[in-house]
Amino acid sequence: MVRLRSSKETTLNEPKTLKKRKHIEIELDEVVIKNDKITTTTKNIKKDKEIKLEEKGKKGKIIKKVVKNEVNSTNKNDTKTIKEKDKPKFWLQTLNEIKEYREKNEAPVDTQGCERLANENLPPKQFRYQVLISLMLSSQTKDQITAEAIRKLQKKGLTVENILKMSEKEIDQCIEKVGFHNRKSIYIKKTTEILHEKYDDDIPDNIEELVKLPGVGKKMGYLTLQVAWNKNMGIGVDVHVHRITERLGWIEKSKTPEIARVNLESWLPDTYWKEINPLLVGFGQICCLPVNPKCSQCPVTNCPSRKKTKK
């Protein structure tokens, strides 16, 4: 809040010869983060009232700002429609080139990805539970290792009822090759108890409840909704999706997958949200590697990050 005091509000020690100034109060009411930039809207000022503010910049310089109020204008549709010109150039061509490449080149995620590990022949509740557990194990773990751990748990009986009977040590023995297996065995046990007590052995069908479960983040949550509930509520952004979308120039560089997700969802049509994760994960596994990407084999015509081949 920036508050300019009127002369009536000055302290007794201040001179009484000050000119009277009209009281103005500005409240920074809403902060929106988009593309790592912060935008604020203001309230409690008269419509179309322009107010000059002064504040110190990073180097001590005085920065003058003009705030124009448009809050009182009623705009029922606050959602900005993303025009084609606002989307990354060549994005659809690039997407189709990657699709064509992936159709011809199999990646580990195609056979051992989390969405492939749950037994589809099980009753719906058990299937959804296995999807969730698969995703919980997948964090910072290769698909092959996750698949092996899930197979071991399935031999024991990967259901809420059976996991409740197992100790954390027994769970850990099945997933010992998974990254952070000690912590994940605790998460699996606690999550299973919550599902039994609160959700009748099922899993939540919304992102708000899913991310409250121990060891479940937004990436896992959105992928769980897509696979287990067939709900397309957001993009599951992992290290592959994060890295590749930055390399392609689809989003600005960001420090966290969550910022990357918000930026990507701001322009990518939601019809592509479900397929983008396995598509780019597989592409990142076999071509656009974290270190030494295979640029000479890359099908993307317009990649701003392509390394030039030495002659």
Task: Report which of 249, 255, 248, 237 is spatially closest to residue 295, judged by C-alpha positions.
Answer: 248
CA distance 46 to 159: 60
CA distance 293 to 284: 9
CA atoms within 13 A on the CB side of 288: 25
CA distance 129 to 117: 11
Output the CA–CA distances (angstroms, integers) from residue 283 to 96, 251, 280, 289, in the order listed. 12, 17, 5, 8
- Do 21 and 7 contact (CB within 8 A), yes or no? yes
Q: What is the CA radius of gyration of the chain?
A: 26
CA distance 159 to 131: 11
- Do 67 and 53 contact (CB within 8 A), yes or no? yes
Per annotation, catalytic residue among 37, 219, 255, 311: 219
Q: Is 22 a catalytic residue?
A: no
Q: How many CB atoms lie within 10 A of CB 180?
A: 14
- Do 229 and 223 contact (CB within 8 A), yes or no? no
By annotation, the residues acting in catalysis are 219
